[in-house]
Amino acid sequence: MPRVLVFALALVGAALLGATDGSAVQSQNVKLFGTVGPGFFITLKDQQGNRVTNVQPGTYDIEVKDLSEEHNFHLNGPGVDRMTPVGSEITESWTVTFTEGTYRYNCDPHFTTMRGSFTVGDVPPPPPPPPPPPVTAKKLVLTSGPGFVITLKTATGKAVKTIKRGSYTMVVRDRGPTHNAHVVAPGFNRKTTPLTYTGTQTWKVKLGKTGTLRFLCDPHAARGMKGSAKIVS
- Looking at 58-67, 122-131, 165-174, 220-229, which range is the least confident one? 122-131
Q: What angle do CA 70, 63, 27 make, to 5 degrees?
A: 170
pLDDT single digits (tens) 3-33: 544 444 454 455 555 544 444 444 589 999 9
Strand 162-164 relative to strand 139-144: parallel, antiparallel, unpaired?
unpaired
Asked whether residue 114 carries a pLDDT value surpassing 80, the answer given is yes
For 207-216, what is the mean pLDDT?
Answer: 96
Check residue 178 and report its DSSP letter.
T
Q: Which residues contact 208 (CB under 8 A, 6 or more apart)?
A: 165, 186, 187
pLDDT single digits (tens) 19-75: 444 444 445 899 999 999 999 999 999 999 999 999 999 999 999 999 999 999 999
Q: What is the pLDDT of residue 171?
A: 96
Check residue 176 and report its DSSP letter.
-
Q: What is the pLDDT of residue 53?
A: 94
Closest CA to 98 of 80, 84, 83, 81: 80
Predicted TM-score (pTM) of the model is 0.46
